[in-house]
Amino acid sequence: MKRKAVLLAAVLLTACSIGPRPAPPITTYDFGLARDESERSEQLNPDASIALAEITAPDWLDTPALHYRLAYINPNARRAYADSRWAASPADLLTQRLRQRLAAAGSTPMTNQDSSNADFTLRVQLEEFAQVFDSASSSRALVRLHATLFNGGKRRGKSGEVAQRTFVVEKPAKTADAEGAALALTAASDAAIAQLLDWLAPRLSDREAPLVGGLDGPACTPISPQWSQAFQCQRHPVADRHQRKFDALIPIQMPIERPYRFGFLLVVSGVGDLPGP
């Protein structure tokens, strides 16, 4: 009887040893804490409002999977680590990081729903985000973004695309594993965003001047005193252009009511974009 009990215990121990083992824990990565960008040399125009749409990505990239390619075997095959992943999709992580960097550079990004109240709208598409193995022991992070800047609803009389550009950044991975991939892809993402902001800065400075002084900005300075009342300090480019022509024709000493009549005659003659008396 005792012998049978010993044999039964041995069988049970053997069964336990060959049974399924628990799956290893999943390691989750994100971009970490944002770096201090207060000393960034290139600052954005704080007066130009920008609406940032959520960064988009293809369906196969819009997942939390941590992707890699074995370029030395089959560069067209995309693989994913089984026990590692991102805390969110790369596009969501990039959107959050870009908002942080825009704010650090002096801009206050608005949501895409507020694009009608913004000077510009920025749309970014994530085209590639993976670790690429050139050999079994050497790998690099590859990030490719395509950015398009559009005129926003506040830029009266202007619409459509302002500029677009593709940004490609590669960073070497220190280790040929998931941790090395996460660190290198984070560094490549920060570098791509830095390039995007450098490209964005001079374009945001092209902000439309207010059409009427006092309504959309500081009061303007009249070009000449004799026309300040007639034009009520309007900064419309057509009015300014005709005003300069009239300044060359009308003597400074002419009474203020005379330009009113002269302006009225010109309106009758066909200059329909000038204010009448």
106 or 254: which leads in pLDDT? 106
Residue where one domain finishes, among candidates 189, 204, 219: 204
Residue 86, amino acid: W
User: Do 222 and 162 share a structural domain?
Assistant: no
16 or 130: which leads in pLDDT? 130
**Residue with the two structure tokens 């005659």:** 265
The residue segments making up the domain with residue 31 are: 26-204
Give yes or no for residue 218 having a pLDDT over 60: no
55 or 246: which leads in pLDDT? 55
Q: What is the mean pLDDT of residues 161-182?
A: 96
Give yes or no for residue 98 having a pLDDT over 50: yes
**Residue with the two structure tokens 């945001």:** 204
Note the pLDDT of residue 99.
93
**7 within domain boundaries:** no
Note the pLDDT of residue 269.
38
User: Do 33 and 77 share a structural domain?
Assistant: yes
Domain count, the chain: 2
Residue 69: give its domain's CATH number.
3.40.50.10610
Tokens representing 159 are 């619409």
Q: Is the dihedral of CA 11, 12, 17, 20 positive or negative?
A: positive
Residue where one domain finishes, among candidates 204, 239, 268: 204
- Do 240 and 230 touch, CB atoms closer than 8 A? no
* 274 band by pLDDT with thresholds 50, 70 and 90: very low
4-18, 118-132, 212-226: lowest mean pLDDT where?
212-226
Assessment of whether the complete model's pTM goes beyond 0.85: no
User: Do 32 and 134 share a structural domain?
Assistant: yes
Most confident segment among 10-14, 50-54, 193-197, 272-276: 193-197
Burial 170-187 (b: 16+ CB within 10 A, else e): ebebeebebbbbbbbbbb
